[in-house]
A = this chain, B = another copy of it.
Amino acid sequence: MNRDPERELAWLELHQVSALLYDGLSRRLEAEAGMTAAEHDVLWYLANVPTRRARMSEIADRLQMTRSGVTRLIDRLEKQSWVARESPREDRRTTYAVLTAEGTQALRRSVPAVWSVRPAMFDDRLTDHDVADLRRVLGKLLHRLDIIS
């Protein structure tokens, strides 16, 4: 039970920073690009995979969503024709979400919104050394949290 105010504060600030960044981005994405932050995350993830496609459960795992959440999110993206579903012959249980050309376009339209939170994360106030420190500590936390869950 040893209370450590420094660590209490670190936890509060971590959550606060994350929420501020994410909420700010959410708002701009919805207004300017017509997509939620979660939808953007998925499109972005797909765009950064060489094959531009990923299995539903892979998306769920990597982006911290439930499988049903991904199903519905991909439903929405599919209605917009930003992704398409594919079922491979080798295992017809799995479904791939594939980024379409229109999805790429949509992602391109989202760039200004994404850039708008960039100044906070990427401007000179944060040195490369800061970023390295941040990543070092976050890495430790992530490793610990992966073990728990």
Contacts and interface: CB of A to CB of B under 8 A. Distances in A.
**Copies of this chain, how many?**
2
Nearest to A111: B1
Interface string A131-145: 111111111111111
A20 to B, nearest CB: 4
B149 A126 contact: no
Interface of A: 1, 4, 6-7, 9-11, 13-24, 64, 111, 115, 117, 119-123, 125-126, 128, 130-145, 148-149
17 contacts: A4-B122, A7-B122, A10-B131, A11-B121, A13-B139, A13-B142, A14-B14, A14-B138, A16-B64, A17-B18, A20-B64, A24-B145, A120-B144, A126-B140, A133-B134, A133-B137, A134-B137
